[in-house]
Amino acid sequence: MSVIPSMTFGSSSIDGFSPSPISDSEYEFICKTVYAHSRIKLGGNKRELVMARLSKRLRSLGLKTYGEYCRLLGTPKGEEEMGDLIDAISTNHTFFFRENNHFDFLKQLILPAITMRGIDKNRLRIWSAAASSGEEAYSIALLLAEAFGTGGAVSWMIDCTDISTKVLKKASEGIFSTERLDPVPRAMVDKYFQKGVGEWEGFFRAKDEIKKHFTFQRLNLLGPRYPFKELYDVIFCRNVMIYFDKQTQAELVEKMTPFLKPGGYLFIGHAESLTGINHSLKMIKPAIYQKNA
């Protein structure tokens, strides 16, 4: 862990809770701490975002300055706070069928090929590596349910991981507002979701026949080892590497590749690329890569 900056910290306004701006040394300390625990690289352009998100943590903890928060992170209690820090910093922007051509490729090419090959006795495994609040994983599940049913001959599972326990909890609940479900065809909503009533009006909950196909667990993608016992037909790791430097991107791809089945696919975000990274995957389309069979 980085050394806590030694300096005098400014005061903040208690009324309306408006902490003094974060100092250069405090911001540097936060950046180094976040990088050490998540490998998320925060540049100077993220300073306002960090202040806005951490001000909520200060309010929750009863702290008045970012300096106090930095000192807290350097204490034994700081280890407990580390998860909340990463939760606060992590960007969890997602929606159903985001980057839709990936889902078209899955539906039109991958799933029919799996059906024809009868791969692994009709066991299909997909990993949503940065599942966030679940929209990506549930989008995948809807396509699998339509292709294979929810209790048919093909056994399919989606393992959902994220560094944020807060968004994983939301994902496991499978509850989405009407607005969040707007990109989903109405027939799918009616078929696979239950409409909320009373205090839950305006929300839909995924039916148990869909939810039984998920697992959820917190995972740091750059941690020492992955806990999986099976290989994956498809890994979705989208809009994650954009926050990493090249060295970290290369490390992540190297760690993930052994967990792909031969012929399996890796999806990354449209704003991401493996250009300049040593890897053994074949680019099928931009942001879609395949492991050699």
235 in a domain, yes or no? yes
10 in a domain, yes or no? no
143 in a domain, yes or no? yes
Residues 56 and 144 in one domain: no
Residue 61's CATH number: 1.10.155.10
The pLDDT value recorded for residue 7 is 32
Average pLDDT over residues 66-82: 89
154 in a domain, yes or no? yes
Residues 80 and 107 in one domain: no
Q: In sequence order, which ranges of the chain are alpha helices (DSSP H)? A: 24-38, 47-61, 66-73, 76-89, 100-105, 111-117, 135-148, 165-173, 186-192, 208-211, 246-256
Which residue in the block uniquely carries the two structure tokens 């990354």?
268
Residues 218 and 170 in one domain: yes
Residue 10, pLDDT > 90, answer: no
Q: How confident is the model at residue 107 (pLDDT cuts 50, 70, 90)?
A: very high
Per residue in 108-159, pLDDT tens?
999 888 777 655 557 899 999 999 999 999 999 999 999 999 887 788 999 9
Average pLDDT over residues 183-200: 95
Q: Is 57 a catalytic residue?
A: no
User: How far is the C-alpha of 55 from the C-alpha of 43, rounded, in Å?
Assistant: 18
Residue range of the domain that includes 280: 100-290
**125, 162, 180, 238: the active-site residue:** 162
Residues 204 and 237 in one domain: yes
User: How far is the C-alpha of 51 from the C-alpha of 46, rounded, in Å?
Assistant: 9
Residues 280 and 188 in one domain: yes
Characterize the bridge pairing of strands 232-236 and 123-128: parallel
Q: Which of 54, 89, 124 is the last residue of a domain?
A: 89
Cα 86 to chain center, whole Å?
12
Count of structural domains, the chain: 2
Residues 170 and 125 in one domain: yes
Q: Is 123 a catalytic residue?
A: no
Residues 168 and 49 in one domain: no
Q: How confident is the model at residue 3 (pLDDT cuts 50, 70, 90)?
A: very low
Residues 122 and 78 in one domain: no
**53, 71, 205, 218: the active-site residue:** 53
132 in a domain, yes or no? yes
CB 25 within 8 A of CB 31: no
User: How far is the C-alpha of 173 from the C-alpha of 167, rounded, in Å?
Assistant: 10
